[in-house]
Amino acid sequence: MNFIAIDFETANHLPHSACSVALVMVQHGKIVGEYYTLIQPETEFFWRNIQVHGIHPEDVRDAPKFPEVWQKIQTYFQENRLIVAHNAAFDMKVLAGCLDYYNLAQPNYLSLCTVRTSRKLFPEMQNHRLNTVCDNLNITLENHHDALEDSRTCAEILLYQSSYFGVEPLKKLVIPK
């Protein structure tokens, strides 16, 4: 298994309002690297988002804006690279929204959602939220909605699934972007 797990936190409901991002790099079934940064969005924070992730406007005042962050992470989105997220529709929408907002080219990559894989492989779970899946698989999640911890647990979920079920059922759920 070679993939990048990603998680964004946002300042509000707008898809270009990323205020943090984390990547966890997995090669040959092992976590080999991590990246995390706060991002200064060019939009206001909504109180509910702050309540969820705990990131305040003053926390990102000196953080880089998305184009600077993209310069550092865009190599991870090479052609046919597998990008994994828990609720991938949200994270891919934020990525696309930030790229569109700054007129940056959209990369081509493969996407896999661990909510979707969990629904398929663990239909008996009461729900497939990140904390529920982690609890059921005995994966530690201490600080939910911290982008680095969420992306790390997402990676661990997919590694668990691939070791328990093999990669074939997972391959059927990969979506090209």
As a whole number of Å, the CA-based R_g of the chain is 16
Residue spans of the domains in the chain: they are: 3-176
CATH topology of domain 3-176: Nucleotidyltransferase; domain 5 (3.30.420)
pLDDT of residue 78: 84
Mean pLDDT calculated for residue range 45-70: 98
Mean pLDDT of the chain: 97
Residue 119 neighbours by CB distance under 10 Å: 15
Q: pLDDT band at 80, cuts 50/70/90? A: confident
φ, ψ of residue 52 in degrees (nearest 5) = -70, -50
Q: pLDDT band at 135, cuts 50/70/90? A: very high
Instruction: Flag whether pLDDT at 124 surpasses 90.
Output: yes
pLDDT of residue 150: 98
Mean pLDDT calculated for residue range 108-137: 97
Q: pLDDT band at 1, cuts 50/70/90? A: confident
Model confidence, pTM: 0.96
Instruction: Flag whether pLDDT at 65 surpasses 90.
Output: yes
Mean pLDDT calculated for residue range 73-93: 94
Tokens read off for 59? 């926390």
Instruction: Flag whether pLDDT at 84 surpasses 90.
Output: yes
